[in-house]
């Protein structure tokens, strides 16, 4: 009698192993773009690109508690909000082409060129304005700020119910939607005016505020995150319910576009496709452990939604290493981007001028 045996792979999967539907690499090729996601839990910025129409490749880079991702209007700079700094990167196609470790593999290479030493502000959303100004949500101080080389931050706006600038994370201000190149709408978890008062009413009590009028245009929301204006409509995520919603800014009412299993946070629209981050929250996360959505969230990853129809076009799920995603950003026109952090010396060897680029020769 023939004896058959089955090989069992006892090795653990590689870090950041993931599975994805076939449509994901096809879409990235068709759209000519890559995905950047931030995970403060794993301390990584991960760039996801299509090697071809069947295969994805990932490039994880370590950054300390990376949160918001911003790209300038000219698509030449990238800014990352980290634990106590905001790092600005400039894209150098020339350095990418001659990258010593993999020549002619990458079409873009983000090099660190400037750091704002902000201190630990717990910056969440980050956006470039039309004029190149860098705006951020300063969650610790409950305000919207601008960044420059004069101060740790310059306060621009506070919710009307916050009575003073103080480092108490009173309402958990987190999201910022841009309109006409300036911050327009913000999201926060409640309207409290005391130290971390947002923790007293989880998950309800969230609001959307119009910064120009100082009016609350929607309330009683379940942990709102990641507002964005797509066309003329305001969309945001109700993280505690796993919902993508469209808000009527005149009435405050909203329509649910779709429901997903997971704690939704981070989204980026490119053409007709909306890329949404989903997290598998850790059970020891005190603020979120009792949310009903935690039991449904099995994997962290990305949903791709065809926004005109509200249908799911693809999904990517991580099998290990990554549980919580903060931000998602699409890098248009970049099929295979790379980025260097400042933790190794290699970034110092990439030299660029307005007309040329060089890799320093090692002695």
Per-residue model confidence (pLDDT) at position 11:
54
What pTM did the predictor assign? 0.93
Percent of the residues in the chain that have a pLDDT greater than 90, as a whole number: 85
Which pLDDT band, with edges at 50, 70 and 90, does 298 fall under?
Answer: confident
CA atoms lying within 13 Å on the CB side of residue 32: 3
Mean pLDDT of the 150-166 span = 98
For the segment 172-210, what is each residue's pLDDT rounded down to a tens digit?
Answer: 999 999 999 999 999 999 999 999 999 998 888 999 999
Map out the domains of the chain with their CATH numbers. Answer: 18-343 (2.120.10.30)
Calpha distance 60→37 (Å, rounded):
9
pLDDT band of residue 1 (cuts 50, 70, 90) is very low
Mean pLDDT on 53-82: 97
Sequence-separated (6 or more) residues with CB below 8 Å from residue 260: 242, 243, 244, 276, 278, 303
Q: What is the pLDDT of residues 92-104, one digit of tens each?
A: 999 999 999 999 9
**The pLDDT of residue 8 is above 80:** no
Give the residue from 62, 7, 71 showing the smallest Cα distance to 33.
71
User: What is the mean pLDDT of the segment spanning 76-90?
Assistant: 98
């Amino acid at each position: 009698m023939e004896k058959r045996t089955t090989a069992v792979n006892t090795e653990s999967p590689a870090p950041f192993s993931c599975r994805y539907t076939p449509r994901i690499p096809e879409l990235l090729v068709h759209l000519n773009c890559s995905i950047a996601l931030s995970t403060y839990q794993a301390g990584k910025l991960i760039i996801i690109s299509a090697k071809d129409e069947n295969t994805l490749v990932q490039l994880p880079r370590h950054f300390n508690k990376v949160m918001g991702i911003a790209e300038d209007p000219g698509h030449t700079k990238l800014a990352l909000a980290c634990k106590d700094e905001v790092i600005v990167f400039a894209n150098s196609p020339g350095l990418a082409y001659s990258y010593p470790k993999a020549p002619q593999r990458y079409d873009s290479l983000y090099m660190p060129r400037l750091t704002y030493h902000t201190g630990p502000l717990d910056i969440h959303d980050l956006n470039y304005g039309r004029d190149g100004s860098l705006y951020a949500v300063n969650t610790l101080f409950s305000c919207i700020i601008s960044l420059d080389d004069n101060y740790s931050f310059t306060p621009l706006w506070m919710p009307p119910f916050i009575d003073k600038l103080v480092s108490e994370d009173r309402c958990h201000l987190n999201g910022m939607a841009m309109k006409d190149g300036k911050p327009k709408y913000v999201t926060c978890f409640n309207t409290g005016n005391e130290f971390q008062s947002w923790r007293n009413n989880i998950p309800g009590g969230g609001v959307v505020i119009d910064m120009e009028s100082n009016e609350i245009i929607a309330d009683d929301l379940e942990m709102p995150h990641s507002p964005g204006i797509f066309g003329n409509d305001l969309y945001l995520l109700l993280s505690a319910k796993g919902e993508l919603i469209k808000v009527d800014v005149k009435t405050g009412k909203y329509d649910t576009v779709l429901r997903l299993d997971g704690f939704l946070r981070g989204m980026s629209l490119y053409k007709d496709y909306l890329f949404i981050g989903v997290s598998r929250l850790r059970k020891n996360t005190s603020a979120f452990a009792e949310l009903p959505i935690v039991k449904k969230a099995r994997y962290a990853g990305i949903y791709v939604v065809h926004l005109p129809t509200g249908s799911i076009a693809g999904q990517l799920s991580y099998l290990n290493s990554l549980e919580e995603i903060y931000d998602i950003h699409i890098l248009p026109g970049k099929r295979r981007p790379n980025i260097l952090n400042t933790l190794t010396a290699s970034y110092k060897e990439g030299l660029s001028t307005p007309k040329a680029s060089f890799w320093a020769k090692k002695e």
